[in-house]
Amino acid sequence: MFSSNPLSLTVPDATFESWLRESGFLDVIDDRQTAAAAAVSTTTTSTPTISDSTITIPISSFLFGYSVSFFSLLWTLLSLLTFNPLAKLTTNDFAGEAPSWTKGFFADFGSYSFPASVSQARLRVQENVKRYARNYASLSVLFFACSLYQLPLALVGLISSLALWDSFRFFSDKWGLDRFPVAQSILIRVVQCATAVILLWLNVQMALCCTLGVSYTVMILHAASRKLTPVKQPSRGRWK
């Protein structure tokens, strides 16, 4: 485990944090930011005055504190809408097996906490989206299936579109349309227009919009509240 800054006498905190980022110890940065926010919260909390005859409780100060905390959390979540959490995703993030749903993705209640700052929220989202990209993709497929179940016409429209393109490919191969590129191009445009009409008429776009909205919301809330876990064990011989 790392202390707050084992080289505090010679290395500034900013340099130490930069080294942690480059070395992949993002979970240490996450823990440091959480501890710093908890220390600030402890020092700013006032103790109510208690006397023998009366008990004076500053209710207004408590309400003000809760209001500040609520709006701070709301501002932190809204700030996540100003950047693209998928910008650093690569094809390698979707390769291999997905992390365990019980131990990795959901874990226990102690693996979650509200982000203490905007920077911590962005750090968690960027890292967790890469770590659990395959889990989020699976959830999106599940949400899309649920949307189609709730909107049967959208399911009919999707199946009809797939059947239309499959029929076009079958007859294109049967009639040898490859020898007539102009006619093939015209038929492709006709099929595209027919597909667009089917999808719009049967509200397939509604199912897609619902899926994207729910998937994005779940991804942001989970990634922002999920604590970062160690990717690799730090060397015990270097830090004490």
> What is the tens place of the pLDDT at every residue in 93-126?
888 788 899 988 998 888 898 888 888 888 899 9
pLDDT of residue 232: 55
Structure-token match 């599940």, residue found: 142
Select the more confidently predicted residue: 72 or 178: 178
Name the least confident of 15-24, 156-165, 181-190, 201-210.
15-24
Q: Tokens representing 195?
A: 């597909």
Q: Does the reported pTM lie above 0.85? A: no
pLDDT at 6 over 90: no
Cβ–Cβ under 8 Å, residues 85 and 129? yes
Kindly tell me if the per-residue pLDDT of 193 is higher than 90. yes
Asked if the model's pLDDT at residue 77 lies above 70, the reply is yes
- Could you say which DSSP state residue 112 is in? B
**Is 8 exposed, middle or buried, given 0-12, 13-18 or 19+ CB atoms closer than 10 A?**
exposed
Secondary structure (H, E, C), 51-62:
CCCCEECCHHHH
Which residues have CB under 8 Å from 67's CB, separation 6+?
none
CB 123 within 8 A of CB 30: yes
Whether residue 60 has pLDDT greater than 70: no
- In the predicted model, what is the mean pLDDT of residues 129-156? 94
Q: Which residues are registered as beta bridge partners of 112?
A: 226
